[in-house]
Chains A and B, each alone.
Chain A
């Protein structure tokens, strides 16, 4: 394929990914509202459409036609760039998600590293949005988010290094191939737990939702945003949540591997199970305090992830024989 054709092909899949993330956000927000309702013994949205099924569709239409309010003293350029830099990396990570055995947009030779590196840009987006808003709550929210984001990035990355060692490749398809008989969850249970918990922190979910702790920071970094730009933050949140859950499936649960059903179905079932788990946790557990959060990252998860690395090395030798 020529350069221009590859470029156009990439752009096409970019548009497809954006559509997927949009649809996912629409569905997941509704699902989350329904689940939270169930957990808190409410019914959730009920009025728009049967059982409130069209609620988020209506919300999106409403958000598109909302006024775009910007604080007078906000840094205009950074204020506009913030939501984009938050949402775009989350969508970019969809390029390497294997939705089924042959269904992967681009099987990069550094796919795993790409998945860890690209969503990292989100930290910059959050900081930028918080700083640009010229609002004390946003400012604190932005600072806290990026501090939390970078702190949990290290144990999370180290947990993935263990998987890379076992798989012997950074290519997503090779990681899946290596799990054809035994998923890495069996060889590396500690790594799975580490990945899952640090992922909660990376996507700002309770019990790690300090950046947007409603009771102390109003809405954190997106306090001053409205309309479509505000929607972009939610696109980022749910896109990143799905992508991270998908990668938990890829790295530890064997991706689409499974009996009887096609790979695509297995992949979605496993991923959505993890998404459900995060929602369940969110509506059950209270929130950590800011200093507890940092202590947990550096004094518990980082040492544990080093231990996990040693265990992964031993497991690797046992498997390799």
Chain B
């Protein structure tokens, strides 16, 4: 357990457990203290007082799919930058130019997606 990274993970596990468990615990405790009188109309989904006009389990807008795809591409590229960013300072101009080339490639990708119309919300 002397490896600092490993103990960080253990610490965060404990942290996450507490943060997750305490609200659950609160919900469970107040289950006995709060009223519970379910009835049919109360358990209808809200739609401005009308019966539900359409079912929310249905295909949705194609644009969401487009943006999700573009997101994955750019998010991965961003993550790659995180691998080099912390050590870039002491590497001089040559390394910076190399990262610059990478950024230009990312920009070209963005330009491509733009021209292909992937960034238009229709």
Contacts and interface: CB of A to CB of B under 8 A. Distances in A.
Contact of B14 (A8, A68, A158, A223): A8
A150 B73 CA distance: 12
Contact of B70 (A67, A232, A298): A298
Contacts of B11: 6-7, 9-10, 13, 95, 106
A133 B45 contact: yes
Contacts of A151: 67, 71
Interface in B30-50: 30-31, 33-38, 40, 42-48
Interface string A208-248: 00000000001000011001110010000000000000000
Interface string A148-176: 00110110011001001111111000000
Contacts of A166: 89
A17 B7 contact: no
B46 A137 contact: yes
A67 B37 contact: yes
A197 B106 CA distance: 22
Contacts of B47: 135-137
Contacts of B78: 154, 157-158, 161
Contacts of B7: 1, 3, 6
A301 B6 CA distance: 37
A302 B24 contact: no
Contacts of A218: 46, 48
B122 to A, nearest CB: 8
Given A95-B12, A320-B89, A143 B60 contact: yes
Q: Is the interface of B mostly helix, strand, loop or mixed?
A: helix
Interface in B11-39: 11-20, 22-24, 26-27, 30-31, 33-38
Contacts, number: 223
A291 B14 contact: no
B68 interface: yes
Contacts of B35: 65, 67
Interface string A22-60: 000000000000000000000000000000000000000
Contacts of B53: 136
A173 to B, nearest CB: 13
A113 interface: yes
Contact of A136 (B17, B24, B52): B52
Instruction: For chain A, give the interface size range.
Output: 35 or more
Q: Is the interface of A mostly helix, strand, loop or mixed?
A: helix
A13 B15 contact: yes
Contacts of A84: 20, 23-24
Given A143-B60, A150-B67, A306-B107, A168 B14 contact: no
Given A84-B23, A161-B82, 13 more contacts: A11-B17, A15-B19, A65-B34, A68-B27, A68-B34, A153-B75, A164-B82, A168-B86, A224-B45, A298-B67, A299-B114, A306-B103, A309-B103
Interface of B: 1, 4-5, 7-8, 10-20, 22-24, 26-27, 30-31, 33-38, 40, 42-48, 52-54, 56-57, 60-61, 63-64, 67-68, 70-71, 74-75, 78, 81-82, 85-90, 93, 96, 99-100, 103, 106-107, 110, 114, 119-121
26 contacts: A3-B1, A3-B7, A6-B14, A8-B14, A10-B10, A10-B11, A68-B34, A68-B36, A71-B43, A84-B20, A87-B23, A88-B19, A92-B16, A92-B19, A108-B8, A136-B47, A154-B74, A161-B82, A165-B85, A170-B86, A224-B45, A224-B46, A298-B119, A306-B106, A313-B96, A317-B93
Interface of A: 1-3, 6-15, 17-18, 64-74, 84, 87-88, 91-92, 95, 105-106, 108-109, 113, 131, 133-139, 143, 147, 150-151, 153-154, 157-158, 161, 164-170, 218, 223-224, 227-229, 232, 290-291, 294-295, 298-299, 302-303, 306, 309-310, 313, 316-317, 320
